[in-house]
Amino acid sequence: MHSVRRTAFSVFTAVFLVGAVMAAQAVEEPITLDYIMSNRSTSNTVESARLRYEAARVSAESAGMGTDPGFTITPTTKLSGDEGDTDPRKATVTASLGLTVPLGLSADQRARAISALERLETASAALAEAEVKDIRELIRLYQLAYLAQREIEVGGLELEAARLQLESDRARFERGDLRFSDFLRSENEFSDTESDLSSAGATWREAVRNLSTATGIEMDSARSFAAPPRLYDAKGAEDIGNTELLDGRPGSPAAYSPDSVLMSRYFALQEAEREAAQRPSFLSFTQARASLDYLDHSASASFNPVSRVLGLGYTPEGLVLRDDTSSGSTGSGGSGSSDLDWSLSVSVSFSLSPSRVERYDYHATQLAVEQARVALADAEVQAAEDKRQAELELVKLNESVQSFAAAVERAEINLSMVRARELAQQTRPVDVQAAEAALERALLGLERAELLRDQKLLERILPSSDALQILSSPLSWRME
């Protein structure tokens, strides 16, 4: 009697778990992966990557602007007089005007601008990686929730088959046609199936909770999950371009940014090579300057080849506020001691340096270039190895899918044979139930293998091994 009650309670539990899933399918439309992707919230990882990208973008824009033109005005008041006089005999007010005009980016500014743009490219690749990894994780969580739901459905069928088998064995045992050990084995199998179904229910609830946490979407327990679309067709061809799982991104894997780590290694090599290209010089041109004085007017022009800035200056004739001097005490141009009306001077400045320290720095930059090349080569080798391992795993998963597909074919044949015998009244209902449950179990195994293969396929969305091919293409922002 106790065994009968226990069996009835187990069947009630199974009906409750499976009924919840079946009722969800009947009450509302199932949740789809497209719904998850359309209504998900941005993860903290993606938001952090986006903020780093925005910071790099602002830095790159600022670095590419260079130096702004500048204008200066310097008012000047000049008082003059003779020795012993307490009051000035002459007072003049004037102003010096200065204008600085950048003629382009200096070498240092160009290097900083290129480095900033390279950091922007790296940040862009990191953002793309974060977005795709986030999508990949959501797809994985959705697949786990769906498989947990399917596990409950299949477990319910298996529990029903175990119940029918237990009832049949109990009747045979009561008639004396079955040994107690065989009846006990049937009862244990029923208990194990019941325990598996209970565990499947707990796994399903946990999977739904994890998916809800990751997406920020409240999951209604009354709704089921639709089967996720496959990214890999039956012929083994990648069918990413025909889906919208990747948030509208193009289907070709080459359209995605290369691996940010490999890209950063490549840019580190580029920066080291730029630094190494700046060889130390014993003689360097530092400034050229020309000035012209005419009467009481003064003008000047200077150019600094290092900063690439042209400086223009002009001082007009001053406004005389007071003049108690005699007219003959001052010569032409107001100099008071010269009869010349104008003067022109031109000067060029050079810097001489033994550059001993610079030579050591240059040698250090050469070593840095070699280190960057080794680091990039290591990253390339690792990327190629990762791609090779992914291809091998994909081959193994394809073989696994084929194995499960063969198991489904065998289960279908077995079910057809059992149903044919049922029509001929040569089999029991428990055998039909067991064959149907076996087919569903085989189909679930095939689904699990196909979704696992899809997860491995999604890992190839960011082809790090093809990074240098993308990087070798002309970049519009590179400066000559």
Q: Do residues 250 and 146 both lie within one domain?
A: yes
Residue at which a domain ends, from 318, 352, 386: 352
- Tell which residue, 235, 341, 257, 360, has the closest CA to residue 293: 341
Asked whether residue 247 falls in the same domain as residue 380, the answer is: yes
The 8-class DSSP code of residue 462 comes to S
DSSP secondary structure string for all residues of 109-122? HHHHHHHHHHHHHH
145 domain residue, yes or no? yes
Residue 158 belongs to a domain: yes
The domain containing residue 436 runs over which residues? 2-62+109-275+359-471
Asked if residue 97 lies in contact with residue 313, where contact means CB atoms within 8 angstroms, the answer is yes
Instruction: Give phi and psi for 221, each to the nearest 5.
Output: -65, -15
Amino acid letter, residue 185: R
- Give the contacts of 276 (CB within 8 A, at least 6 positions apart): 362, 365, 366, 368, 369
CA distances 389 to 108, 352, 392, 459, 467, Å, are 43, 58, 5, 12, 17
Residues 247 and 158 in one domain: yes
The total of structural domains in the chain comes to 2
What is the predicted pLDDT for the residue at 157? 93
Residues contacting residue 249 through CB under 8 Å, at least 6 positions apart: 132, 255, 256
Are 84 and 186 in a shared domain? no
- CA 215 to chain CA centroid, Å, is 18
| Whether residue 244 sits in one domain with residue 114 | yes
Residue 439: its pLDDT value, please?
94
Q: What is the pLDDT of residues 141-153, one digit of tens each?
A: 999 999 999 999 9
Low-confidence ranges of the chain (pLDDT < 70): 1-28, 82-89, 221-222, 232-259, 279-283, 285, 322-341, 347, 350-360, 460-480
- The single-letter DSSP state of residue 104 is S
Helix (H, G, I), strand (E, B) or coil at 79: strand
433 and 467 in a single domain? The answer is yes
Q: Is 152 exposed, middle or buried (0-12, 13-18, 19+ CB in 10 A)?
A: buried
Q: Single out the residue in 352, 384, 412 at which a domain terminates.
A: 352
Residues 169 and 259 in one domain: yes
For 301, phi and psi rounded to 5 degrees?
Answer: -145, 140
| Same structural domain, 328 and 251 | no
The rounded radius of gyration (Å) of the Cα atoms in the chain is 42
Task: Determine contact, residues 431/165, Cβ cutoff 8 Å.
Answer: no
Token pair 């500048």 is found at 70
Q: Are residues 228 and 211 in the same domain?
A: yes
Domain stop point among 352, 377, 401:
352
Q: What is the pLDDT of residues 47-101, one digit of tens each?
A: 999 999 999 999 988 888 877 888 888 888 877 776 666 666 677 888 888 888 8
Beta strands 342-352 and 90-102: pairing type? Answer: unpaired
